[in-house]
Structure 1
Amino acid sequence: METRWVTVDGVFLEVPADCTVDELRTALYKPADAVLIAVTGDLVSVVHDEERPLSELVAGCADTYYFYQPNEPTRNEILAAPELESALEEPTTDETTFQRPSLDH
């Protein structure tokens, strides 16, 4: 099984390429209501499908992940993005992707 190195909530670790959100959450002892947020270059993805392998999603290309719980204090600009709140309220696909905050184009 292929693995890759990523940062999850500030910890650098090896993750299987076909890992799902549910498997990652369970392995890292994260609460059931924690949502996976993936950062891929200039994109941020909120993963809604917890059973699909990350490798099949934009989130699978990420090098940084955060587990986010609703109503938790803001830890950084990504988790404070207004688009995040909208993505959590109205998921329409397997993942919601938006432009990373504070990037000038």
Structure 2
Amino acid sequence: METRWVTVDGVRIELPTDCTAGQLREALHKPDETVLVAVAGDLVSVVHNDDQQLAEMVAGCAETYYFTHSDEPSRNEVLSAPDIERAVADPVGDETTFQRPGIDH
């Protein structure tokens, strides 16, 4: 099985390429109510489908992942983006992708 190195909640780990958000949450003992947020370059992706392989989504291109939930204080600019709250409240499809906060084009 092929793997790659990524950062999840500040820890560098090897992630199998066929991993799902649900498998990652379970392996890292994250609570069920947490949402996986992926940062891939200038895009942020909120994963809604725990069973879809990350590699089949924009989230699969990410090098940085965060597990977060609505009651948690924002740890950084990405996690404080109001787009995350909107994506969690009204999920459409397997993921919601938006421009990373603080990136000017």
Does the pair score TM above 0.5? yes
2:47 corresponds to 1:47? yes
Question: 1:48-81 CA distances to partner (integer Å, 9 max, x unpaired)?
Answer: 0000110100000000000011111110000000
Unaligned runs of 5+ in 1: none
- What SS does the aligned partner of 1:93 have? coil
Count of matched residue pairs? 105
Tell me the equivalent position of 1:76.
Answer: 76
Provide the residue aligned with 1:102 in structure 2: 102
Distance 1:70 1:84 in 2: 9
C-alpha separation in 1, matches of 2:5 and 2:48: 22
For the pair 1:90 / 2:90, whether they are aligned, the reply is yes
Q: Give the TM-score taking structure 1 as reference length.
A: 0.98
User: C-alpha displacement at 1:99, in angstroms?
Assistant: 0.1
What is the CA–CA distance in structure 2 between the aligned matches of 1:45 and 1:33, rounded to whole Å? 17
Counting only pairs closer than 5 Å after superposition, residues 22-41 of structure 1 correspond to structure 2 as: 22-41=22-41
Q: Percent identity?
A: 63
TM-score (norm 2): 0.98
Q: What CA RMSD, in Å, does the superposition of the two structures yield over aligned residues?
A: 0.5
Deviation at 1:95, TM superposition (A): 0.1
- Report the Cα distance in structure 1 between the residues aligned to 2:49 and 2:103, rounded to whole angstroms: 27
Deviations 1:21-52 (A, max 9, x none): 11000000100111000000000000000001
Code of the aligned partner of 2:96? T
Separation in 2 of the partners of 1:9 and 1:92?
A: 25
